[in-house]
Amino acid sequence: MKPILSKGHPKLLHAWAFYDWANSVYSLVISSAIFPIYYSALTIIKDDEGKVLNDKVDFLGYAINNDSLISYTTALAFLVIVIISPILSGIADNLGNKKRFMQFFCYLGGLSCIGLFFFDLDNLLFGLLCYFTGLIGFWGSLVFYNSYLPDIAHKHQQDRISAKGFSLGYFGSVILLVLCLIMILFYDTFGFESEALPTKLSFILTGIWWIGFAQYSFYYLPQVKNDESKSLRVVFLSGFRELKGVYSKIKQSRKFTNFLGAFFMYSIAVQTIMLIATYFGVKEIQWPGGDATTGLIISILLIQIVAVLGASIAARLTKIHPNEKVLIGINIIWLGVCIYAFFIKTPIQFYIAAFFVGLVMGAIQSLSRSTFSKYIPEQETDTTSFFSFYDVTEKIGIVLGMSIYGAIAHYTGNVRYAILVLLLCFVFGIYKLSLILKKS
């Protein structure tokens, strides 16, 4: 018989955090590492010295910059997530079964990763569709995953268990990435004729890993049944009403409002940087021999390893400093990374930037999630709506960030100018966080 674990139970906390182990392979293999390199190899023509000769893609009869195409596709996916998240959270809150929706998006994302096996220039539309639904699956499942945090952990446990989730995610995703890289780099040892097939097999392995390991989390996470007699119209619109209600509650606390303002602005920059870093590295860095694959993989592995350390350090710092003060420090480091990244051209410079990105990437994600959770009133039972608001705020930021990046790539041909816009986002985030400390 399936055990029912109480709030704060170690096994329940571990099962929740373990979903990061399952789904983080998507963010590493698909969002950050192998797929961006594969996409760039398909869509960019370079000379022997690595100089870009052509980065236009024929899509639906139009020649479009490859960076713009992937940026606009990403922005559209996040726009869909912004629209459907309130609807889904409303359904989950009124009919229960938040775990069922988390499972649906998990399976959608995992199967989409498997579908990327067929991504090539002859199947560009289908490939972009799989990329599109994969994004929706990954981020859609996180709406419900994040909303479980105050349900399964007491406030004093939330910083630690949030950091544990990110740490498990980094370790798990690195393991799969290394396995995929061994298969790709030593393709002839495994009987492959080229790197193409093992690269595409990596997408299948990602989907299987995600769906397979998620079963452990699904087994232990609780499922709450609510009133199933409500009309479809009431249920459908309830998510938007709940967001409106959440906003009314948030407005009552100036600290809460300032935190969300800061979170919105620095999320524009953080998420955009994480999504475009590899594409930037392929096009803007002068790799020896013009081959960016090895250098980018080293950078990504460095980011993942350092990110575990960064998330752990941030959790420890919150024991002696307010969360907002730690977040200000993290934003200052991000600000420095942006200034430095605008000028980098060599692989060594890219590695240095990757080290500092890794140091603050996990820290800012983990600490933002747990800080928001702490702002939710202790007596509040509707945690899904609060985290739906949190996720919608973040996703609107991503839509803006990716749209800005795509537009700058399209109209200027120089994506470095986008860094200057992202830099201003961190400045504003630091300002809003400082207002919280002044009011304390």
Q: What is the DSSP string of 342-399?
A: TT--SHHHHHHHHHHHHHHHHHHHHHHHHHHHHHS-TT---HHHHHHHHHHHHHHHHH
- Provide the pLDDT for residue 374: 84
Joined tokens for residue 198: 């093992």
Lowest mean pLDDT of 138-142, 299-303, 382-386, name the range.
Answer: 382-386
Buried b (16+ CB within 10 A) or exposed e, 365-376: bbbbbbbbbebb
Res. 12: pLDDT tops 70: yes
In the chain, what's the furthest Cα-to-Cα distance?
66
Is 47:385 a contact under the CB 8 Å cutoff?
no
The yes-or-no verdict on residue 430 having pLDDT over 90 is yes
Q: Is the dihedral of CA 433, 438, 439, 440 positive or negative?
A: positive
Q: Is 65 helix (H, G, I), strand (E, B) or coil?
A: strand
Quick one: tokens of 140? 């859609």
pTM: 0.77
Instruction: List, for residues 80-113, the tens digit of each pLDDT value.
Output: 988 887 777 666 666 667 788 899 999 999 999 9
Residues 178/401, Cβ–Cβ less than 8 Å = no
Q: Per-residue confidence at 333, pLDDT binned at 50, 70, 90?
A: very high
Write out the two tokens for 41: 């190899």
Residue 283 binned pLDDT confidence (cut-offs 50, 70, 90): confident
The amino acid at residue 358 is: G
| Percentage of the chain exceeding pLDDT 90 | 29
Which two structure tokens, joined as six digits, stand for 157?
Answer: 């446990």
The CATH code of the domain at 15-223+233-439 is 1.20.1250.20
Helical segments of 57-186, H only: 66-95, 98-115, 124-147, 149-152, 155-185
In the predicted model, is pLDDT for residue 232 greater than 90?
no
Greater confidence, 381 or 145?
145
Task: Give the residue with greater pLDDT, 159 vs 373.
Answer: 373
**Would you say 391 and 271 are in contact if contact means Cβ atoms under 8 Å apart?**
no
Sort 5 into a burial class: Cβ within 10 Å, 0-12 / 13-18 / 19+.
middle
CB 382 within 8 A of CB 242: yes
pLDDT at 389 over 80: yes
Say how far apart CA 137 and CA 117 lie, in whole Å.
Answer: 17
How high is the pLDDT of residue 289?
Answer: 67
The pLDDT value recorded for residue 294 is: 76
Residue 194 corresponds to which amino acid?
Answer: S
Structure tokens at 381: 């039972």
Mean pLDDT for the chain overall: 84
Average pLDDT on 265-289 reads: 84
What pLDDT was estimated at residue 337?
92
Residue 287 pLDDT greater than 90, yes or no: no
Residues 109-164: tens digit of each pLDDT: 999 999 999 998 888 999 999 999 999 999 889 878 877 887 888 877 877 888 78
Positive or negative, the CA dihedral 41, 43, 46, 50 is: negative
Lowest mean pLDDT of 214-228, 260-274, 362-376, name the range. Answer: 214-228
How does residue 325 score in pLDDT terms, banded at 50, 70 and 90? Answer: very high
Q: What is the DSSP letter of 45?
A: E
Q: How many CA atoms lie within 13 A of 63 on its CB side?
A: 4
* Amino acid 440: pLDDT: 56
pLDDT at 251 over 90: no
